[in-house]
Structure 1
Amino acid sequence: MTEDLKKFDIPTLILHGDNDQIVPIGAAALQSAKLVKDATLKKYNSSPHGLEKTHKEQLNNSLLSFIKA
C-alpha cells in the first residue's frame, strides 16, 4: 500500500481517531500522511475505530470543509 500512497497526486484528506484500538493511528494515518503529497490529516481526539458512527457530525463537517477549500 505504501507505494500506492506515494503515487497520489491530488489533495487528500486522511481522517483517524487517536484512540483507534483496531488500526492504531501511528501505524496507519500518521504514516499515510507522510507518504501522500498534499495530505491533510484530521485527528479526532479520543475517537475509536468507526468514527463515522461515533463522530458523524464532526466527520461530515471535516469533509465539507476540505471539499470547499
Structure 2
Amino acid sequence: GNPLAVINGGFFDEGYRSTALVIQDGVPSGSSYEGQGGMFAIDVAGVLSLRHLADQPTAPMSRCLKRCKAGRCW
C-alpha cells in the first residue's frame, strides 16, 4: 500500500538516534529544534500535526511539550 508518512532520514544520526526531541510512550528524549526545523506530532485523539518551526513555533502545543519535557505526558 501507500505510506501514511515519510520522515526525512536527516533527523537521525548514523547510530539511528534522533537529533531532536522525541516523546515515546510519554518519555521525552533529546531537545526541540529552535528556529529552524520541523515538528511531527500525533496527539492522544490521533490528530496529526506537521509544521515548520520558523513559521509555526510550538506555541499551540507548548503546554503539552512542557509537560512532556517534565516527564508528565498525558
TM-score (normalised: structure 2): 0.30
- Higher RCO (C-alpha 8 Å, min separation 6): 1
TM-score (normalised: structure 1): 0.32
Give the structure with the higher percent helix.
1
Give the structure with the higher percent strand.
2
